[in-house]
Every structure is written in C-alpha cells, then in structure tokens.
Amino acid sequence: MDTTNQEINASQKNKLTLLLCIILTFTVMNGTMFNVAIPDIAEEFQLLPSQVSWVMTGYILVFAIGSLMYGKLADIYPIKTLLTIGIILFASGATLGFISPNYSTLLAARILQAMGGATIPALSFIIPARFMPNERGRVFGIVASTVAFASGVGPIAGGLVGGAFNWRFLFIFSMISIIAIPFLRKWLPDEEIRPGKVDIIGAIIIAIAISSTLMFITTLSIIPLVVAILSFGLYTWRAFTHDQPFIQPDMLKNKYYSTTILTSFLGTVCMFGMIFVIPIMARDLYSLSTVQIGFLLFPGAMAAGIIGQYGGKLIDKHGSYPILRVAFLLVIIGSFLISTFIGLPAWVIAASILIQYMAFPLIQSSTANLLTVIIPKERTGVGIGLFNLVNFLAGAIASAIFGSILDLENTSIQLNPLGQNGPNIIYSNLFIGLTVLSVIAVTIFSLVYKNNKEVKAARNN
C-alpha cells in the first residue's frame, strides 16, 4: 500500500523524530568536525594545503549533488530503502576512513561517506512532509534546530576528540550510525514504488553543472565556470524537450517556489557567512584557540537548538509567513550588533552571535514548511531536494565570497558609523553587508507573498 498521504501514529512520530535528529547530528558534525582536523591530516600524509583541501571539497561536491539526487529518488522509491542504503554507505565510508593507510584511501572514504550521508538531510525534510502532515512545522523546527546545534558542537567535538586521541577517531561518530537501520525500518511506513522514471542523462548534466559551479566557487578558475554555464544551458534545452526531465521547468516558473528558494538561499548565505567569518575574526582579533572559538559559537548553537523546537510549534499555530519575517529580523539585529561591537570583549560578541544564530532554524523550518504547501505532492522529493542543494550552495558561496573579501585585509572605509575603529573595520563592514542582505531578502519575500489569495493557504501552514 502506498502511504504517501498516510499519517503515522503519535508513538512512531516521536520515536522517528528523535532517531532522525540523532543521525542528523552525526551527519552534520561529520562535516564540521573535519575542519579542525585538516592540519593534522596534512601533517600525517605530508600534503600541501591544496591537496588536503579535497578532504572537504570532495565531500562537499558529492554531498551537494546527492542532496538533490536522493530527493528526486524519494518521489519514486520508498524512503525506507533509500535511508537504509544511505546509512550503510555512510558508515562503510567512516570505517574505511578510520583504517585508511594513505591519502587516496582517505579521500575515497570521504566520498563514500558523502554518497551515503547525503540521504539523511535530504530525506529528513521529506519524512515530516509525507508522514507527519499535521505536525510538519513542529518537526521541521526540530530538524532545523538539530542542524544548527550540531554545526556549533562539531568544531568543539572535533577539537576535543582530535586533541585527546587522533583525527581518525572522528570517524567513530559516523560508524555507529549503522545501529539506526533496524529502528528506521521498523518505524518508517512501507511504501510501494510509485510511477515515474529518473532522467539519468539530465541528472548527469545537473551533476556536472553543480560540480563545476562549486569548483569555480572554491578555485575561481575560468574553466569550471565555462563548463557550468554550458552545462546549465544544455540542461535548460533538455528540460524543455524531454517528456520527464530531472527537474520540471514549471517548478522554477512558480514565483512562490522560486521566491521561497531565493529567500532561503539569502538567509543561509547570511548564517554561513557569520559562521565562516567569526572563527577567522576570533583568531585574528582575539587570538582565541580552536576550542575557545568553538565555545564562542556554542551559546548560539544551544539557543538555536531550543528556539527551533518552539519555532516549529509556532509555525504550526501561526503559519510560516510571520515566523520567517521574525527570523530575518533576528538576523538583521544580530548582524548589526556584531558589526557594532567588534573590538569589545568576546562575551559581547558571543551574545550578539546568539541573537543571529537563533534565526537559523526558524528560516530553515519556515521555508521548508512553505515549500511543502507550494509543491505538488508527487514532486515533494525533488522540490525539497533542490531546496537542500541551494542551501548547500549558499554555504559554499558565502565562504568563497567572504574569504575573498577578507583577503583584502585592510580598508579605511567604515560603513557602520557606530562601529569601532581599528583593524576590525573590514569585519564590521562584512556584517553590515549581511544586515543589508537580510533586509533585501525579507523585502523580496514580503512583496511577493503580501495580500496574495493564491498563497493564503501557504501562509497559514
């Protein structure tokens, strides 16, 4: 029996939500923990910075593409099957990484991990939409708060485990995820394979386009940019000539879907921009250690974990529209306060970070909830998959752009009249930029959705 529209019972919901959050924590931490382990890996295998960077870059490439692919597959194949395969690949890659005798094996392990790990965030947003429709806002909030919390805990855990033992022990967190499989198979409903087929050629073209885009973002080389432009052009032609293209063009023509995706993209740029810049600023201006930087972000991550759960309940009660606007207000306030207080004691910055961090799960859960109303049920998988992919690209773009800006090192132009003078000006200006970007995002969203009867239901769900 196809359970696409069948809601599971309360006991299953609670157990499944808890289990998803635990697995999701391992997955997100797997990405952030290895940031602090890069120097140790480079030293053990005698690698140049450009070589060791592929431990993260290779993972990012496969993970980003996988987040879209698994979303599309979920429109056809049972989620239970996809998650089982994904977790097996994820844990197998971790086991291979733990025993890797050389860098080539380690790189293969990270790619294998990404191939499996991409199923977890991709399907974690689809499961509530499909099996918990009456409480999807609450569950979206819990899932989004888990992502925010894990992203803050990851660097701390990575520093503590890597410092006390060895970077290989970071794989332990991923290896134990295999324990979740029997519980997932018990608590997830059975589904039949639904009608449809996967446009393999279209998927390959999209994969090349996305890979080239990420390569351009991380290297600023002209060749990946040309390949990306040609690939996107080729896919556009295929989308209008193939009977079942990988991504239906009418989805992107829907201005409410496109606006929600754009809003989420800009919000994620602001959040990942903050998470990228703060550690660099903390080391440069405050001379904090890796663990101290982790604790600087930790209060915000904790606050995000708490507010996300309450925010999800508020979405179910009041709708996504007002919650998203409040979330962007938090980003605006937090970014402006950080810009203003840079140079003051670190605890002041931590308090400002906390305000901005709280917005992260609210933006993620409210936009995801809106999409489940806008997207036709038969396309929920690919619609949410594209949402995950765009957010992932937002993180990569934010890191590349802000990294390039920080390379300028010095500037004499102070954009924030309330900001402190000195070497912190460039950091202050970056956060003013995030403030302005947040204002633009919430303005676009409000103008498109305001007083529109066609999306009245979406605003109340």
Predicted confidence at residue 7, as pLDDT, reads 61
Predicted confidence at residue 91, as pLDDT, reads 92
Q: How confident is the model at residue 133 (pLDDT cuts 50, 70, 90)?
A: confident
Lowest model confidence (mean pLDDT) among 50-54, 186-190, 307-311: 50-54
Predicted confidence at residue 411, as pLDDT, reads 64
| pLDDT of 439 above 90 | yes
Estimate to the nearest angstrom the gap between the alpha carbon of 367 and the chain centroid.
13
3-state secondary structure at position 423: coil
- Dihedral sign from CA coordinates of 172, 68, 268, 20: negative
Tell me the average pLDDT across 105-110: 89
Q: How confident is the model at residue 449 (pLDDT cuts 50, 70, 90)?
A: confident
Tell me the average pLDDT across 94-102: 90
Sequence-distant (≥ 6) Cβ neighbours of residue 344 within 8 angstroms = 420
The amino acid present at 378, given as its one-letter code, is E
Tell me the average pLDDT across 100-106: 88
Question: Which backbone phi and psi does 344 adopt, to 5 degrees?
Answer: -80, 175
Q: How confident is the model at residue 92 (pLDDT cuts 50, 70, 90)?
A: very high
Q: In this predicted model, what pLDDT tens digit does every residue of 315-331 receive, in sequence order?
A: 777 778 888 888 999 99
Residue from 359, 275, 444, 365 nearest 436 by CA: 444
Q: Tokens in use for 299? A: 């209060």
Out of 141-150, 231-240, 384-393, the most confident range is 231-240
Lowest model confidence (mean pLDDT) among 285-294, 335-344, 413-422: 413-422
| pLDDT of 105 above 60 | yes
3-state secondary structure at position 344: strand
Q: How confident is the model at residue 1 (pLDDT cuts 50, 70, 90)?
A: very low
Q: Tokens in use for 390? A: 């765009």
Burial label, 261 (beta-carbon count in 10 A; 0-12, 13-18, 19+): buried
Tell me the average pLDDT across 253-273: 86
The HSE-up count of residue 55 (CA atoms within 13 Å, CB side) is 29
Predicted confidence at residue 251, as pLDDT, reads 74
Tell me the average pLDDT across 172-194: 85
Predicted confidence at residue 332, as pLDDT, reads 93
| pLDDT of 405 above 90 | no
| pLDDT of 6 above 80 | no
Can you tell me which residue has the tokens 């996967």?
Answer: 198
The answer to whether the beta carbons of residues 426 and 408 sit under 8 Å apart is yes
Q: Tokens in use for 43? A: 């030293």
Predicted confidence at residue 19, as pLDDT, reads 86
Predicted confidence at residue 85, as pLDDT, reads 92
Of the two residues 432 and 38, the one the predictor is more confident about is 432
